[in-house]
Structure 1
Amino acid sequence: MIRVLLAEDQGMMRGAIAQLLGLERDIEVVAQVASGAEVLQAVRAARPQVAVLDIEMPGRTGIEVAEELRREGLMCRVLIVTTFSGPGYCRRALDAGALGFMAKDKPVEELADAIRRVHAGEQVVDPLMAAAALAAGPSPLTAREREVLAAAVDGAPVVSLARRLHLSDSTVRNYLSSATRKTGARNRMEAVNKARQNGWL
């Protein structure tokens, strides 16, 4: 049996997926969590072989969780299942150590097959998403630019951002200006939106 953990913040969807996967003869859902913050503890307790993670979850994103699992050396392979199709998400997920990346709107039979293949050590990526990620290339943002832009999502003034990030006002302005230019945006909120659509944040 392939031991699977499901991390999905929508309870009804999580329950439905678990029930459908439970019909597969070789798959057992051994843990279900509603937030990224719960995954590591659940992995240690239930010892799943494959973690099926949503990208956007409370606490930590699926991509952040994939990075943590790799960093902690936990023997659990990751399959990201998402509604976000921005090319940057696919690239970041694979860079974080995920073996699989697929859209949520696929039939459960495809999800089960992807779980089997990821469990076997294969890389499973939706062909359209993979092509888009290759065509788009890597994110143009540096880690610092991404951090500052992510902090700016709530529209906070530069002074507040600087305090929050422990940087000077001028440094924050420089990072925001650079990120805005690199994303081809007219202002920082447009830069935030473009970066999110492309999966760079």
Structure 2
Amino acid sequence: MKRKTNLLGSGIFAASVLLGTTAFAQQEMPDLSDWPQASQDAAQHMMDTYGEAPEVTDTMLIWGPTGPWKRTVIYKEATTHLFPVEHPDVMQQWINLDVPPDYFDDLAHYDGSVVANRTEAEISARCDKEAANFLAINLAHDIIEEVRTVEEARQFYAETMKALMEGGSPSDPAYVEGFIFEVPQEDLSNPDESLL
């Protein structure tokens, strides 16, 4: 397969070096036939919804801003996640959200695939479907706003995913269709302060 070697910035290059991959921009989509089915399905959903990935490595497809997301990465390598039922985490999606540090432990107890980044003021969810990522981040926001406890959020997540898996409608479809809160668009990053 012929690849263009036009790199899109040092950030992608640095990330690819750390991951042991090579990043290319505006190249032909790779053959995904040897990727796990969940990764293929997630990639197809993203391409159908937002177009082809503008950045590609041997193990990742990367989209910048698309719809409500700051960025999306589809991974070739899945991470097994047992909550709420065993599934492969292959699609990670980020938004801007300044999560107060006091809630980091709660979010970790709620869902290990939800990650808050204080320095960049971002939150991400990693699952196998975009709807599940909407749900995960909406419930994380509920925890931060103290609308739900960790246990209530976990229960709501499980019930909602069960309804979707059974072909039914969740009790509150808005949680899986988009964000139920206004996603900040401004830069909220917090570089902290130097002690030296």
TM-score (norm 1): 0.26
Q: Which of the pair is proportionally richer in strand? A: 2
TM-score (norm 2): 0.26
Max Rg structure: 1
Q: Which of the pair is proportionally richer in helix? A: 1
